[in-house]
Amino acid sequence: MKKIALLAVIFAVALFSVLAACGGSSSTTAQNYTVSMGGTTFNTSSITISKGSTITFTTDQGGTAHNLVNGTSGHAAAESGAPSFGSGGQTVGPGQSWKSSPWTTAGTFHVTCTYHPTTMNLTVIVNG
């Protein structure tokens, strides 16, 4: 009985190794990234993320509200493949956060603040 159990364990380990090898390794793992927003700026002008990842946009405590949309220069312009920011955008007040849906399409996208159109433009690069 012990030999059967030992053989079953060896078989299971071998099968797992084969399946792992067939799946290959992926250098892109979905994560949650964070972009902070100060008075009238993002903490970065661009961010590179893995396909399937999300972005949490956080306004500094004591900062000002921001209204985020997909687009540039304060104008909503839905880009095919970008997650929805809702019909009127996403308002994030001081000390608050908003987490996007997963970015599931590889490419380059844009996020802007309708309240601060000249200083808040973020490029999101999604690697496949």
pLDDT digits (tens, 9 = 90+) for 99-128: 999 999 999 999 999 999 999 999 999 998
Q: Tell me the residue range of the domain where 101 lies.
A: 32-127
CATH of the domain at 118: 2.60.40.420
Residue whose structure tokens are 């009127």: 88
Residue 51 in any domain: the answer is yes
In-domain check, residue 49: yes
- In order of 3, 41, 94, the CA distances from 57 in angstroms are 56, 12, 11
Q: Which two tokens stand for residue 7?
A: 């053989």
Sequence-ordered list of residues with C-beta below 8 angstroms from that of 123, at least 6 positions apart, any chain:
45, 46, 47, 108, 109, 110
9 in a domain, yes or no?
A: no
Q: What is the mean pLDDT of the chain?
A: 84
Overall pTM > 0.95: no
Domain membership of residue 16 (yes or no) is: no
Question: Which helix H or strand E contains 22, and what residues bound it?
Answer: helix 2-23
Query: Number of structural domains, the chain?
Result: 1
Instruction: Give me the pLDDT at residue 2, please.
Output: 52
Q: Is 17 within the bounds of a domain?
A: no
